[in-house]
Structure 1
């Protein structure tokens, strides 16, 4: 009989140490959860609890720039290729074979890259909020998506975004609240991102955009979840996503804001489960 696997609390790559939240039955099928900006693995708490009820083991890393032991300096250290390699290292460290992969926001962008470049490591792929990079890039040519993405240019500035996003009472909290982030998530943001020192690393992902590499079409079974009240992603970008997936594909449209894992964990899990059933 195979020994029961141990809980994974961290993993290392290239001298960096990444914190991991490992929950659910240890003998369950593994779901790797990739958080976005400006959040950490705690944003998946509701999703993880619900998946545990369905006998899934969830593994959620605090990614590059977010884990205290994985905050390299210089924007080149946050290139998509590096973020992708971090997730591949985690999957290989788990040693369970291909995993189910779920990502939100920037975590979705990384997940698209992992699924495209390393399909042998991914059983199913569920993207939440952010479509395939090709679909997003094409949508940026429209005035609507360009208006929604103004902050991406702002985040390229040195130091100023950190100052704005660290303010109390206005600035960062106001921007996030305006995008629909609720009080509990805002408090977590203050504790984890601002007080915890993760904000510069999180912004490093945006500042590395000039070095981004192309993401090919995805061939693994894919589900894309988009909310109609998402202030960051237009319907045009969401609907264009299908063109960048050549494998089985499902588009799930829901109501609500951009912060889907926090505010609608049941919707994420329902979409994930339907995608898994459809891939069998």
Structure 2
């Protein structure tokens, strides 16, 4: 009989895990993005539980209090993938159905390319295949959308600016403007403030971006053979359509592109629809929202 996982260890660090749903259900691993924790999936998970799936959502490196190494080198992609593979080993159920949003999607893609034996299916949300993203930077307006990544390379200033911005939202008028600009709802905003900004995780979370310049390409150019679905949203202010379209070139197995009318925050904004998409991929169905599969 399987056992619940509340924590697991890797590389001398301890990671918090939310393990919920039927204990004997098929495991679905959910990787969160920036600047969030495993609670990003709290609205999606119940819909998956209703379908009989067990969801396992780790709070990743830099975000878990017991896994906050200093220095950007500790946040290179190979280390993040190592955390994911250690979790899969801790589950002990063989290859898993892997889902990621934003940076969690980047980790999911890299795990699927570097360790194809560990990934049964892949569902990426928002962030496309790494090579598709890099190509979109020079063939579309993606570079302009990604200007903040360059700003995040500056030491300590982003932490100060972001922390002060959240503190200022104690004023109702500032909070209202912040919600409008971020496209977050109040619950999301307060959760990020509490679990990332106030908890001290922000400076470590920013190291994911700062490690981009020292991360070797590794398996970035490799294709994914596992059945894959990529989900993009029409009102994503950070990621343009080009990367989503190019992603098909890096999936050699069954693949489909799903497009939702939503902002970047798909898991919270469209949880039922996203759960449908994940379940369709896990089950091997070829229809979710009426969008024809790309080459399935």
Q: Are the structure 2 counterparts of residues 69 and 23 from structure 1 closer, same or farther at C-alpha, using a change threshold of 3 Å? A: same
Could you list the runs of 5+ residues in structure 1 that have no partner in the other structure? Answer: none
Question: In 2, distance between residues paired with 1:27 and 1:147?
Answer: 46
| Superposed displacement of residue 175, structure 1 | 6.4
Is 64-73 or 176-185 further displaced after alignment?
A: 176-185
| Contact 2:140 2:242 (C-alpha < 8 Å) held by counterparts | no
Question: In 2, distance between residues paired with 1:93 and 1:63?
Answer: 15
1:32-181 correspondence runs (5 A): 32-142=29-139, 144-167=141-164, 168-169=167-168, 177-181=180-184
| Superposed displacement of residue 278, structure 1 | 2.6
1:233-252 correspondence runs (5 A): 233-252=239-258
| Superposed displacement of residue 249, structure 1 | 0.6
Q: CA RMSD in A?
A: 1.7
| Superposed displacement of residue 205, structure 1 | 0.2
Q: Are the structure 2 counterparts of residues 213 and 173 from structure 1 closer, same or farther at C-alpha, using a change threshold of 3 Å? A: farther
Q: Are the structure 2 counterparts of residues 183 and 17 from structure 1 closer, same or farther at C-alpha, using a change threshold of 3 Å? A: same
Q: Are the structure 2 counterparts of residues 163 and 152 from structure 1 closer, same or farther at C-alpha, using a change threshold of 3 Å? A: same
Q: Are the structure 2 counterparts of residues 143 and 279 from structure 1 closer, same or farther at C-alpha, using a change threshold of 3 Å? A: closer
| Superposed displacement of residue 183, structure 1 | 1.4
Question: In 2, distance between residues paired with 1:263 and 1:100?
Answer: 22
Q: Are the structure 2 counterparts of residues 265 and 276 from structure 1 closer, same or farther at C-alpha, using a change threshold of 3 Å? A: same
SS, match of residue 166 in structure 1: helix
SS, match of residue 99 in structure 2: strand
Query: What's the counterpart of residue 194 of structure 1?
Result: 197
Query: What's the counterpart of residue 215 of structure 2?
Result: 212
Query: What's the counterpart of residue 269 of structure 1?
Result: 275
Task: Tell me, yes or no, if structure 1 residue 225 matches structure 2 residue 231.
Answer: yes
Question: In 2, distance between residues paired with 1:209 and 1:267?
Answer: 32
Aligned length: 277
SS, match of residue 104 in structure 2: helix
| Contact 1:129 1:258 (C-alpha < 8 Å) held by counterparts | yes
TM-score normalised to the size of structure 1? 0.95
Task: Render the CA deviation track for 1:66-105: whole Å, top value 9, x for unaligned.
Answer: 0000000110000000000100000001111111000000
Task: Render the CA deviation track for 1:36-86: whole Å, top value 9, x for unaligned.
Answer: 000000010111111100110000000000000000011000000000010
| Superposed displacement of residue 212, structure 1 | 2.2
Task: Render the CA deviation track for 1:4-25: whole Å, top value 9, x for unaligned.
Answer: 2221000001210000000001
Question: In 2, distance between residues paired with 1:182 and 1:165?
Answer: 17
Question: In 2, distance between residues paired with 1:111 and 1:56?
Answer: 19
| Contact 2:48 2:279 (C-alpha < 8 Å) held by counterparts | no
Question: In 1, distance between residues paired with 2:65 and 2:56?
Answer: 18
Could you list the runs of 5+ residues in structure 2 that have no partner in the other structure? Answer: 287-296
